[in-house]
Structure formats: C-alpha cells, structure tokens
Amino acid sequence: MARQDNDIIRPRLILASASPRRSFFLKELGLQFDILPTEIVEKVKKGETPVEFAGRLAVEKALAALKKQKRSGDKTVYSLGADTIVVLGGKIYGKPRHKTEATAFWHELGGQTHQVITAFAIAEFPDKIICVETATTAVTLKRPSKREVGEYLETGEPLDKAGAYAAQGIGKKFVEKIEGSVTNVIGLPLEALIPWLKKLKLL
C-alpha cells in the first residue's frame, strides 16, 4: 500500500546555534527543531576572505552538531549552522571580548556604512554538506556620542553581538539605514534559507 502524505516521516532538524534570534525565525516559520550549540575556533585563516571565513564557520558548526548525533530510526537528520560577521574595509568585527574592545568597534563603525555577512550551511547526517550560502547587507550607523556609547555598553547588549550592536534591539536607535535583507542583519537571511527548507521537506 502506498504511503499517504500524512504518514511521511519528516526529517529532523538541528539548529547548531544558541542564538535566540535564529530560534525565533525558525519558530515563526512553524518549524520543529532541536537546539545544539557548538564550540569551534573562530579564527580567520591566512588569505581567507570575510565571505569564506563566515562560510567555513557555518559549515564547521553544522558538522560539529552532527558529530554528536545518531540517526533516529529512518529519519533523515539535518543540521543548520550559521555565522554572522560585520566587515568594514576588509576588517572583520566579531563579538567584542570586553567593553574596551566594544568601545573601539564603535569608534571605527560609528558614522560608517559597513557590511553584515551571514553564512548558513545545511548538512545531512553523518557528514554530507547540502548547501552553503552567504548574504550581504549594507548597514549605515549613526555616530553616537561617547556618553551614548557608554550607556549602550552598560545594557550588556553589545557584548554578545557581532560589531557590538543589535539592529533588532536597543541598538536599533543607532541604525541609520539598512540596504538589503533585514533578517540577514539579525542572523539568518530567510530569503535564501526558505527555498532550501522547502526543497528538503523541512517546511
């Protein structure tokens, strides 16, 4: 007897990230998924471009999550890894290690237009890379005063964000213009991701 549509075993999805913004996007799409943060070394290799760097980290995160898994019955298991970086003049700005570094970030990024690059990778158990894509969005920040930067740092928000700001949070007041995907700036370029989710029968 042919299997009915409602009997189809849906693939399992793992989000290799602790980012609440990425989880929010996937939940808004109606997806069911497990969260499995991964620990990898985020260091740029010699000669690596920002796009290559973000793409490599996304792949490494997706594969690291799968290494901790075992196939569940006859379900296909996919993992989604992602990495977001801020780039200005070829320099990569990740998450600041402390307030002093965050202040330095704002000194360089304030009043400038920079690029936000998010890469995502989908891998299939045990170690097959299905896709790697990147999206770039131009973001122009206002130039805040030292007092404004100090007050923003005291909120704690900048210390967990690439470039030391959150476009969807308190930092939104410092964003002058966004050219391109807004969800990409927040952590996942949905315009590029959704077609893959549909293709893999996850959505």
User: pLDDT tens, 126-155?
Assistant: 999 999 999 999 999 999 999 999 999 999
pLDDT in tens, 160-171: 899 999 999 999
Question: 115 vs 7, which has greater pLDDT?
Answer: 115
pLDDT for the residue numbered 71: 65
Based on the residue annotation, tell me whether 83 is a catalytic residue of this protein: yes
Radius of gyration of the chain (CA): 18
Judge whether residue 78 has pLDDT over 70. Answer: yes
As a whole number, mean pLDDT of residues 36-51 equals 92
> What band does 61 get if pLDDT is binned at 50, 70 and 90?
very high
As a whole number, mean pLDDT of residues 65-74 equals 78
**Catalytic annotation, pick one of 7, 34, 74, 83:** 83
Judge whether residue 12 has pLDDT over 80. Answer: yes
The CATH class of 5-199 is alpha beta
Question: 184 vs 160, which has greater pLDDT?
Answer: 184
pLDDT for the residue numbered 7: 47
> What band does 2 get if pLDDT is binned at 50, 70 and 90?
very low
Query: Domain residues of the chain, as ranges?
Result: 5-199
Q: Which of 4-18, 81-95, 149-163, 180-194 has the lowest mean pLDDT?
A: 4-18
**How confident is the prediction for the chain on average, in pLDDT?**
92
Distances (CA, A) of 16 to 36, 56, 114, 120, 143: 5, 14, 26, 10, 34
pLDDT for the residue numbered 73: 65
pLDDT for the residue numbered 8: 64
> What band does 84 get if pLDDT is binned at 50, 70 and 90?
very high
pLDDT for the residue numbered 60: 97
